[in-house]
Structure formats: structure tokens, C-alpha cells
Structure 1
Amino acid sequence: MATPKALILRAPGTNCDRETAFAFEAAGGAAERVHLNRLLDQPQLAEGFQILCLPGGFSYGDDIAAGRIVGSLIRHHLDEVLREFVDAGKLVLGICNGFQILLKSGILLPDAADGHAPATLAWNESQRFIDRWVHLKTNGDKCVFLKEIEKMYLPVAHAEGRFVARCSDTLKSLDQSGQLSLRYTDAAGGEAAYPDCPNGAQLGVAGACDATGRVFGLMPHPERYLEPTHHPRWTRGEAGEVGDGLKIFQNAVQYFA
């Protein structure tokens, strides 16, 4: 089969698109960075790709709210295109700002019957930007991107990453369905409090997927830990043979192999 191709969608303020493209290529795929305006003008471009990735950064300066502007543009101009993309069995990944966009566009978690989003990413409880490394564990086996991954150690860098469901019933439903697929933990793998859970997310949620497991968003940055030397203590021998984040991209590429 031809090498799976990833469309890395960038916008003004995106700053992790090159690293994310490199991650897909390191995983054996091909990647092309495409500006949002180009996709708005030629939405049929998406047909030539198997994976869509919304990388990290500060799209449109995070004006109004993080990911809000790109999310709105998708809702009003690309909603049908992206839903056809997902319905065709393809994959969508949102990292940090990309996760915020996926939630605000309704692509990851469809709006409730009353038109309200089932969950959002709110300001960190500390009310400040957090930049640190965190321990993570997977929850269930629904998510394609997390196949054969039990735990990871990755960096986070965000101000609006606190996962909040609209109500307790929605949170319970998402949890029971296995869609709250990535959680923060402490160093021992137990329940995380601040600073191990850097933002105060409900149930320590660090990432979530849709009902199919093929649309996934996470706040940590897997593209920032691909090689052993990316680990903050690699000189002390704490890094593995490869970075923990690489497996996420390998899973996406191998899904089509």
C-alpha cells in the first residue's frame, strides 16, 4: 500500500507544525503542511490524505478563547468535509491547541441535542500558563492512536487545558464509553493532584477520543519526545531507546499499512 499521508493543518499562530510533520515522517508516513486558508479555498485537498492533524501553538493568538476562531471556521466552512473524512475511516489527531480546536469545532464530541458542546477545555485552575513534563496512563482500548500504550511521559505547555464536561451525567457517560482515553497520573501511576495534574482536569483527563476511536485530542505534546535526547534527564539514563511520543504517530501510520 502507498505510504499513508498526513495533512498538517496550520493557521496564523501555529508553531508546532514542522515538528509534527517530522514526527509522522519518523513514524514511516508522509506529511504535508497545509495552511488553513488553502483548505478553505480547496476543501477537496483533504481527499488525498489518510490522516488529518491539528498541531499545537496559539492559532490566531488564542483570541476570544484557545482554538475558538479555527473551530468556528471549521464549523461554518469545513464541517461537512471533515465529517466525510472521518466517515471514510480516516484518522484525526489534535495536539494541545489542536485538541482545543477539535472540541470547539464539534468534530471530536458532537454537540448535544440542545446545541451545547458536551465538554470544553477551560483555563487551568492555577490561572496561569503551565510548562512541565507529566506522567500519563491510557484508559481502555478504544483509541486507535494509543494502541499498545500503557503509560507515557510527555511535556505539556498550555494555559487552557482543563477538561470540563457540561454536567456530571455527560462526564460519566464519556468515561463509561471509554472515550476519556488518556489521564494524568503521579510518578507511581496513581491518581494525580497538582502539579502532576497540571490543570485540574476532571478525572485527570489529558486526552479524549470520539466514539469510533479514530478522532483523538490530547493536551500533552508527543511530537516533543521522539528521541531519547528529548527527555529532560536523558544524561542520567532515564530515557528509553525511543521517545514515548513516537508510538502515537506509528500507530496512526500503521493503521493504514
Structure 2
Amino acid sequence: MALTLRFTVALAAGLVAVAGHAVPLAYEPTGLAWSAQEVETSATPQALVIAQRAERAQQLGCRRHCERLDRIFTRLVAEARTQTARSQALPWSLTVVQLPDVDALALPGGQVLVSEAFIDSRALTDEALAFVLAHEMAHSILEHERQALTFARMLLAPQVARSVQDMYVEMDFNLSLLKAMEPVMQQGEFEADELGLLLASAAGFAPDRQLGFIEQECAQPAGPTPVVATHPRMAARLAQLRLRLPLARRLAAP
């Protein structure tokens, strides 16, 4: 028994934006355990912890990139709302911090966090920043957290009832479970890359320049292989993204 995350652009060769109409690019996940609300409620405290830590350190709020973050995020939200019934209803929000150990992340309920320290350290262009934010938003649209939790639940004894919080505790302490989830988590990153690229392209951000962030990361020395590799190698991500550039260019075309 297996759950496979999937993001396939149906009839990709013929998928284009026509006469200014929005193009749905995402699928609506089905057959998942727990409700979206249960997962959102359990994940929300993560953002609160980061925001509170930033506030205590006087590193909460936007200081240097406010105008462009607002402009980019507004355009991305407009596209995100065209994807699925759920993404249309999500209360999308962007929280900005200055913490040097935070880059960008999204929660299942549509809350996106980004650190200006991360933006500065990578010298992100508008296009690269749009890709980073759209990648995180794609995780929320595709309900990757709920998909991963469902897969993890399928690997455990079925006769034991478990809440979402139980699953998070299990994943914190069960290394073998996390190792078994590696392919699913990595596939989720490929999916978020793909949908993120297409979303940002549909929002008008040049696809080729979006790849600047991944290209920059590929140029850095590869670090040690982690015990649990939740993300694919950057080179593999870049190769997959380049395969989607022809479609992304068509979506970005005026």
C-alpha cells in the first residue's frame, strides 16, 4: 500500500493562458487522512513560535524589501486563488522576519514566512524571490503536509488510532519512519518547484530568471548528505525545472 505525491500538468504541450484567462495548474488531492483543518490547526503554532522568537529579538517585520515583497506576493496570491477551490478560500498572508536562521516556509493554511536576512544573503532578484515564495505557496496548494502525514500513517500499525499531533511526535522520534518517507518528501519538493515555477510565470515573472536562485545554490559546494534527505539535490531540481521552461515561457507570454 503506497501513497504517491503527484503533480502532472495535464496535456502540458497544449496548456497555455488564453485571452487573459487564468489557467488551473494544480490538482485537488483526494483520499487523505484527517481534514485540512486538523492539519492546519496543528501546524499553525510553528509560525507563532518563529514570530514570537523574532519579536523577542526585535527582528519581526519588514524593513528593506517591503514594497517588492508586497507587490510580488500580491501577484502570486492572485494566481494561487485560481488553482483549486481550497486555495481560493485560503487566508493567504506573508510574515516577514529578520532571523538569519530562517529562509522561507509555508504552512498548510496559506501562511508564508520569509526572512529578509535570507533575501539579502542570496541577493534575490524579483524573479528569483517570486519563485521562492511561489514554491512555498505550492506546498500549501497541493496540501503536501497532509499528504506526507497520510503516507506516514500508512507505514504505522493500523489498529492504533492517531491524531495529527500524534504523528508529529512519532516523526520527531522515529528515525526509521522519516527515512522511509524520504522519497515522498523529495517528490513533494519537485512538485513545489514545478508548480511554483508555473505559478510565478503565470503571474508575469520571467521563467528563466526565476531559476537564478537554484542556479546559485548549485554553484555552492555540496554539503554533507544528511541522515534524512528531505530535499533532492539542487542539481536534480534544476534539471527538472529546465524541462518545464518551454511551458513556463508560454504561460509568461503576454
Higher helix share: 2
Q: TM-score, normalised by structure 2?
A: 0.28
Q: TM-score, normalised by structure 1?
A: 0.28
Higher strand share: 1
Which has the greater radius of gyration?
A: 2
Question: Greater relative contact order (Cα 8 A, min sep 6): structure 1 or 2?
Answer: 2
